[in-house]
Each structure stands twice: as structure tokens, then as C-alpha cells.
Amino acid sequence: MKNKTGVLLGRLLRNILRSPDTIITVAITPIMMMLLFVYVFGGAIKTGTNNYVNYLLPGILLITIASGVAYTSLRLFNDVKSGLMARFFTMPIKRSSILWAHVFTSLVSNALTIVIVMLVAFLIGFRPSADLLDWLAVVGILGLFTIALTWLAVIPGLTAGSMEGATAYSYPLIFLPFISSAFVPTETMPKLVRVFAENQPVTSIVNAIRALLYEGTVGNSIWMALAWCVGIMIMAYIIASKVFKHQLG
């Protein structure tokens, strides 16, 4: 069996290049949400910071990724339903190459979308104080988060019976940042909501990215963020691999 991850990755990236509107479509919702919160709600939200877009951006980036990985489910669903996946099974290629190609495609496409969102953030006043090491840490966390959610996306992509079912799983992921520290400090929330918000993965990841970008004091939040990303990634990878092997028969 040959490892053809690069060849399969090229196939998927060519599809994206032929339809760049997928990246633009994914970027539009987070950008509109960012503009809405900054220019409509920002003046009424008290975060203890002078620049609300600085506070808001980490959560917007996570929403961008959650929106983008839905296309991984869709691409996998299309491969399964069109019979292309079954054709791959008959070829002398390493089976894991098929899934890893989709994961790497998600990483590349989401990176491009994040760049677009961040460029708009700079235009409306985002001003980080991060140095090179801080930026590398942010890129690492966002990369791990993307891979973790992408492996989650693989599961419905392989098992869904309809296009809607393949992408519907992303809706709770997009909603999760709203019950976290992404938009407002958790201290302002009712007790039960606050308990949930402070103990779910998005809050740890958002706090770590925010601290790296401009607050300066990261503390334990970066280790919590890494633990959540790695934990989700391992769990999703194990489940996705079992589902894939079941399909192989």
C-alpha cells in the first residue's frame, strides 16, 4: 500500500481553487458577526478593555473554524455517496491517506479563511501586542483546534444519510462560543450559565489566545487550551477511525 496523502490532498485543494466561493462563504458570516458586535453591541458591552475588537476576535476565529470544518463533512459525504470512496478502497493506497487528505485540506482552507477574517479585524481596529513567539503559539492553538474539529467532522461525513445531516453537527459548535468568555466576561452571567461557560473548552481556548495576542499574562489557560484540543482530537480520531474501518468491512 502506498501513502498517497499528497495526491489526494492535491485533488481536494484543486476543487477548492475551482470554487473559491466556499472560502469566501465561510468568511462572510464571522465577518458580519464581528462587525455587528463591534459597531452595534460593542458600546453597550463592558469587558474592561479599551478595544472591543481585541476582546472579540479570538471567539470569532473559533466560530470561523467551526463553520469551515462543516465543508469537510460535506466533501466526505459527497465522496461516500458518489461511490468515489468505494473506488478508493479498491486502489493500492494506504487507507489512512484518504482521511488525512481531508484533514489537511481543512487545515489549509481554514487557514486561508482565518487570514481573511484577521485582515478585516485589522481594518476595523484590531491592534495586538504579541511578539513572534506569541503569534506562533496562537497559530499552533488554532491549528490544533482545526484538526480536532475536523476529525469530529469526519464522523458525520462518513455516517450521515443526507447532506443536511452531514453539516448539521457544526451548528452546536458555532453556537458554543456564545456561552463562553468569547463575547462577554463570564462574571456577568447567571451562576449556572457561568459554571458551564467557565468549564467548557471554548473559554479556555479563547482566554489563551486573547492573552497571547495582547494581555501578556497567559498563565494556565494555554495548558488548558492545549489539553482540550488534544483531548478532543484523540477522541474524535479514535471514533472516526473505527467508523472508517467499519465501512471498509
SS3 42: helix
**Cα 87 from chain centroid?**
29
Strands (E), 125-186: none
Tens-digit pLDDT profile for residues 104-159: 888 988 998 999 999 999 999 899 988 899 999 999 999 999 999 999 999 998 88
Q: Which three cell numbers stand for residue 171?
A: 451548528
pLDDT at 8: 74
The domain ranges of the chain are 5-248
Label residues 53-83 b or e (16+ Cβ within 10 Å = b): bbbbbbbbbbbbbbbbbbbbbbbbbebbeee
pLDDT more than 90, % of the chain: 40
- CB count within 10 Å of CB 230 equals 13
Amino acid in the structure at residue 82: S
Q: Is the pTM of this model over 0.85?
A: yes
Tens-digit pLDDT profile for residues 39-62: 887 777 777 677 889 999 999 999
Nearest residue to 63 via CA among 13, 117, 12, 11? 117
